[in-house]
Amino acid sequence: MRILMCGDVVGKSGRQAILENIEDLRSRLALDFVLVNGENAAHGFGISEKICASFYQVGVDVITTGNHVWDQREIMNYIDSDPKLLRPINYPARTPGAGSCVFETQAGKKVLVIHPMGRLFMDPLDDPFLAVGNVLAKHTLGQDVDAIIVDMHAEATSEKMAMGHHCDGRASVVVGSHSHIPTADAQVLPGGTAYQTDMGMCGDYNSVIGMIKEPAVARFTSKLPAGRLEPADEEATLCAVLVETDDTTGLAKSVEPLRLGGRLAEAMPG
């Protein structure tokens, strides 16, 4: 299988990068499954039902979120009706929505997506390692599911790397989101799980992690109120990770970064 995971979508420019490129990438790279982290898609804060629908229309298979999942209040009443929109799995049990789900590709392959959120420098949620382990215990890669994808939404690189090794040999891929900066450590771990600490964002990199520079800088240089942060709106770079899995075992054969458009140097997997 060929799986594309796209990093945090930030604002209008990030949405445009997804809407203008996913259909072409699905064809050009012969993709079987596309995941997009959409937690900053609605003007930098959360996601809406309308945005979800627009992503599905161009070929996105599942949308993950993170700590901004509830920023658009409508999502609390919508998320239970949309199994393709995941919130972090380690929220308390009564939280609306789900943090994992098994999806079926057009070719009939079954893909399990698990979406944990870290706790270092983040909200003190339930244990993400226990939550992921409980799901993995119910599924066997290469048997009842053909691929297992983990989007680890976390601040600390150490926590993301720990999740990668925690899942090594049991998941097809563990990739981090949240920090909006693509890391240079794409690799297949010893047990066969593809890994990258952060896939970066789909947004304008002439910014501070996707937000207009001046107010963001002012927050660091002055104690005066700087107002609400607004997304930068120049051309976005679509940052993603392409993973190819073995059809028999479900483990990774390769992992490569993808960068398209905007200010960052282009990287297009062969």
Residues forming the active site: 68
Closest CA to 37 of 13, 14, 64, 16: 64
Farthest-apart Cα atoms in the chain, separation: 58
Distances (CA, A) of 100 to 39, 85, 136, 257: 16, 10, 10, 24
Please list, in sequence order, all residues whose beta carbon lies within 8 angstroms of the beta carbon of residue 214, skipping any fewer than 6 positions away.
none
Task: State the amino acid at position 199 in one-letter form.
Answer: M
Q: Number of C-alpha atoms within 13 angstroms, CB side, residue 123?
A: 13
Please list, in sequence order, all residues whose beta carbon lies within 8 angstroms of the beta carbon of residue 225, skipping any fewer than 6 positions away.
none
CA distance 34 to 103: 11
